């Protein structure tokens, strides 16, 4: 606490003392009182400084993948000065991959993190503020809407949810090390890189059958590894896979290790009935065991389907006015960067319309 502050406070107290019998006593008593008063004032002012005022925004975008940043670019250009909460994975899923060859505008491909940095730069150029923190709590039933980013509460007239979905992985050590080096969770994205190679797909549902069938366009052979003794996929999907001469389905089989130094060279497999082990030489491993939409924070706030995806109405709307959705957080079908980006554009256009009607 500055000494000068206490001294001048003491002078004030003495000055307002109605009958000062002794100027020195007054000064010393006043100094003591002033010290106590100044201390408490100083502490309160410090406390005030730590309680930040709540910030209000026209639009908060939750998520910084292709959906979130595209929404931010459109909203920024519409002068809505959006705030983006970038979340636990700034830039989204594409930051975990190398070459992206199917995003329009890049005939020679572009690496995922570069593409996402370019989207971020484009968003901030048009007045978007990006906070590298996660949304920890929302109240979408209040007016204005309340969004807590980290431990800071913000209010907003409108929100776009673009929190994506995370692929489920086997959880093995070598799996993460070899991600993007032969291990993938997206055949549409990475299948092209496996021309003429043998690959394996893990999973027994529709997604696994679809991925396996798609991969036969490139791979010379696809082995589908199913943990149980039957497939969960629909009959037509199973029939298609079973009739494909390039696909072998192996039941009761699990992957116990992924082999390879720089890239995947094979898999260690275990037969779950007789515990026999073997090695399967493959150049790639595709996981098709599901995705988990990042919607935990919206539970009890929005309608979610059985798998946790946000239930949307009319493309990007929710049951709550001013709450819009974009990208993989509601899309279990296409799950591509370009579809997520297109969805982000639609959500921003709807948000802009909503806000202009509100004014």
Ligand X SMILES: Cc1cc2nc3c(=O)[nH]c(=O)nc-3n(C[C@H](O)[C@H](O)[C@H](O)COP(=O)(O)OP(=O)(O)OC[C@H]3O[C@@H](n4cnc5c(N)ncnc54)[C@H](O)[C@@H]3O)c2cc1C
Which lies closer to ligand X via its Cβ, residue 85 or residue 269?
85
Q: How many residues interact with ligand X (rule CB under 6 A)?
A: 41
Residue found by looking up tokens 């107290």 in the block: 13
Task: Identify residues 85-114 at the interface with ligand X (CB under 6 A).
Answer: 85-90, 92-94, 96-97, 100, 102-103
- Choose one: 24-32, 184-192, 263-271, 349-357; the region binding ligand X (CB under 6 A): 184-192
Closest of 85, 28, 31, 80 to residue 57, by C-alpha: 80
Least Cα distance to 255 among 284, 231, 296, 219 occurs for: 284
Question: Could you give the string, one character per residue 4-23, with x where binding to ligand X holds by CB under 6 A and - elsewhere?
Answer: --------------------
Question: Closest Cα to residue 230, out of 257, 260, 212, 209?
Answer: 209
| Spatial distance between the Cα atoms of 2 and 38, rounded to a whole number of angstroms | 9
The piece of 26-34, 156-164, 218-226, 301-309 that touches ligand X (CB under 6 A) is 156-164
Alpha helices in 16-156 (DSSP H): 23-50, 66-77, 112-125
Nearer to ligand X, 88 or 321 (CB): 88
Tokens of 111: 């690496």
What is residue 328's three-state secondary structure? helix
68 binds ligand X (CB under 6 A): yes
Binding of residue 276 to ligand X (CB under 6 A) = no
Tell me which of 189, 328, 331, 345 is the catalytic residue: 189
Q: Which of 359, 336, 325, 352 is nearest to 80 (CA)?
A: 352
List 76, 82, 164, 266, residue binding ligand X (CB under 6 A): 164
Q: Which residues pair with 199 in a beta bridge?
A: 222, 284
Site string for ligand X, 292-331 (x = CB under 6 A): --x--x-----------------------------xxx--
Beta bridge partner(s), residue 198:
221
Out of 63, 182, 283, 322, name the contact with ligand X by CB under 6 A: 63
CB of 113 to ligand X, least distance (A): 12
CB of 64 to ligand X, least distance (A): 4
The question of whether 345 is a catalytic residue gets the answer no
The whole-angstrom separation of Cα 58 and Cα 80 is: 6
**Dist. CA 258–CA 284, nearest whole Å:** 10
Q: Which of 337, 345, 347, 351 binds ligand X (CB under 6 A)?
A: 337
335 near ligand X (CB under 6 A) = yes
């Amino acid at each position: 606490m500055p000494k000068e502050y206490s001294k001048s406070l003491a002078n004030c107290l003495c000055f307002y003392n109605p009958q000062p019998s002794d100027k020195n006593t007054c000064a010393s008593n006043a100094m003591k009182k002033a010290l106590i008063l100044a201390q408490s004032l100083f502490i309160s002012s410090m406390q005030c400084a730590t309680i930040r005022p709540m910030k209000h925004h026209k639009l908060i975008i939750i998520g910084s993948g292709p959906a979130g940043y595209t929404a931010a670019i459109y909203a920024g250009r519409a002068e809505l000065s959006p705030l983006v909460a970038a979340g636990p994975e700034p830039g989204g899923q594409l930051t975990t991959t190398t070459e992206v060859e199917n995003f329009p505008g890049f005939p020679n491909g572009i690496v995922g993190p570069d593409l996402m940095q370019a989207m971020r730069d484009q968003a901030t150029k048009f007045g978007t503020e990006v906070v590298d923190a996660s949304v920890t709590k929302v109240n979408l039933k209040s007016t204005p809407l309340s969004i807590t980013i980290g431990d800071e509460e913000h209010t907003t007239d409108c929100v776009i949810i673009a929190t994506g979905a995370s692929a489920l992985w086997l959880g093995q050590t070598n799996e993460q090390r070899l991600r993007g080096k032969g291990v993938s969770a997206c055949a549409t994205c990475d299948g092209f890189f496996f021309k003429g190679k043998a690959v394996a797909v893990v999973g027994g549902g529709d997604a696994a059958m679809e991925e396996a069938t798609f991969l036969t366009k490139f791979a010379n052979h696809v082995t589908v590894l199913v943990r149980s003794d039957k497939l969960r996929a629909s009959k037509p999907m199973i029939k298609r896979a079973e009739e494909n001469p390039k696909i072998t389905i192996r039941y009761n089989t699990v992957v116990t290790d992924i082999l390879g130094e720089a890239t995947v060279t094979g898999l260690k497999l275990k037969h779950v009935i007789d515990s026999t082990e073997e090695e399967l030489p493959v150049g790639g491993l595709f996981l098709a065991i599901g995705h988990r939409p990042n919607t935990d924070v919206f539970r009890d706030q929005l309608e979610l389907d059985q798998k946790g995806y946000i239930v949307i109405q009319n493309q990007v709307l929710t049951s709550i006015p001013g709450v819009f959705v974009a990208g993989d957080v509601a899309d279990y079908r296409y799950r591509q960067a370009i579809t997520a980006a297109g969805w982000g554009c639609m959500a921003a256009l709807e948000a802009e319309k909503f806000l202009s009607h509100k004014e």
